[in-house]
């Protein structure tokens, strides 16, 4: 084989390795790899959650925590939506795999079990907790924050209004909702109620329907909470 042919062959191989490397990086990002992702079974043996730890996580400091909720208990997806908080804000991100739309009692139990397990398992800042969710998950996020107003500092509520509990001025709220969402009027009314109560709050309407907000809105919400609280 001539030197020219060998050179062409090597160039082609390097190009293939480069392309495969890019593809693996993209797939890893899609899978949420590189962000210290874990599936955790609560110590009560009945509940579980997924967690993303900040890349530089260690037990020498206390870390804020963002608890995420999905109406169908797809906590792995909910946590992935907000996983950028681990890198950009240095927050632990948790997604419940048990809290789902339905009676409140099972939701309370799932939230309590997850909070207790995260508190015991990780080095967290118990005065800087946050919650987030979409649709029924947004109502769960409100409910958890209002149940522990001395611990929670903020909520990101996507596509729905209040859940259970009394409004607390300690809890800032970022609302995000699609302009075509049937819950838009409800979300606006919730925002107006909070403004009247003197709560720090902001609303972002994006192009879309009843759906999770796009990445840029998630980033805006996280940045706003980090600056506000």
Average pLDDT on 17-26 reads 34
Average predicted confidence (pLDDT) for the chain: 89
Confidence at residue 34, expressed as pLDDT on a 0 to 100 scale: 53
pLDDT at 11 over 90: no
Average pLDDT on 155-165 reads 97
Percentage of the chain lying above the pLDDT 90 cut: 84
Average pLDDT on 88-117 reads 97
Confidence at residue 23, expressed as pLDDT on a 0 to 100 scale: 34
Confidence at residue 63, expressed as pLDDT on a 0 to 100 scale: 97
Query: Which residue would you say has higher pLDDT here, 19 or 139?
Result: 139
Both tokens assigned to 168:
């607390």
Q: For the CA atoms of the chain, what is the radius of gyration? A: 21
Sheet holding 37-41, edge to edge: 37-41, 48-52, 92-96, 63-69, 124-134, 152-158, 172-178, 201-206
Note the pLDDT tens digit of each residue in 46-81: 999 999 999 999 999 999 999 999 999 999 999 999
Note the pLDDT tens digit of each residue in 170-195: 999 999 999 999 999 999 999 999 99
Question: 128 and 64 in contact (C-beta within 8 Å)?
Answer: yes
Question: 54 and 122 in contact (C-beta within 8 Å)?
Answer: no
CA pair distance 152, 171, nearest whole angstrom: 6
pLDDT at 33 over 90: no
Note the pLDDT tens digit of each residue in 105-144: 999 999 999 999 999 999 999 999 999 999 999 999 999 9
pLDDT at 37 over 90: no
pLDDT at 27 over 90: no
Confidence at residue 109, expressed as pLDDT on a 0 to 100 scale: 97
């Amino acid at each position: 084989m001539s030197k020219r042919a060998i050179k062409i062959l090597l160039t082609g191989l390097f190009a293939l390795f480069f392309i495969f490397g890019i593809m693996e990086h993209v797939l890893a990002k899609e899978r949420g790899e590189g962000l210290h992702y874990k599936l955790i079974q609560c110590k009560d043996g009945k509940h579980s959650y997924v967690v993303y730890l900040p890349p530089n996580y260690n037990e020498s400091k206390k870390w804020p925590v963002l608890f995420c909720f999905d109406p169908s208990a797809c906590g792995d997806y909910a946590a992935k939506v907000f996983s950028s908080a681990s890198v950009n804000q240095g927050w632990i991100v948790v997604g419940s795999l048990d809290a789902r739309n339905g009676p409140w009692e099972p939701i309370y139990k799932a939230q309590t079990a997850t909070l207790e397990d995260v508190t015991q398992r990780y080095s967290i800042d118990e005065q800087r907790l946050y919650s987030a969710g979409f649709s029924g998950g947004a109502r769960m996020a409100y409910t958890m924050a209002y149940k522990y107003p001395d611990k929670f500092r903020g909520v990101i509520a996507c596509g729905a209004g209040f859940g259970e509990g009394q409004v607390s001025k300690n809890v800032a709220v970022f609302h995000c909702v699609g302009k075509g969402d049937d819950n838009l009027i409800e979300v606006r009314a919730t925002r107006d109620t909070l403004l009247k109560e003197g709560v720090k709050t902001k609303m972002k309407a994006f192009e879309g329907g009843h759906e999770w907000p796009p990445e840029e809105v998630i980033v805006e919400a996280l940045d706003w909470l980090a600056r506000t609280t």
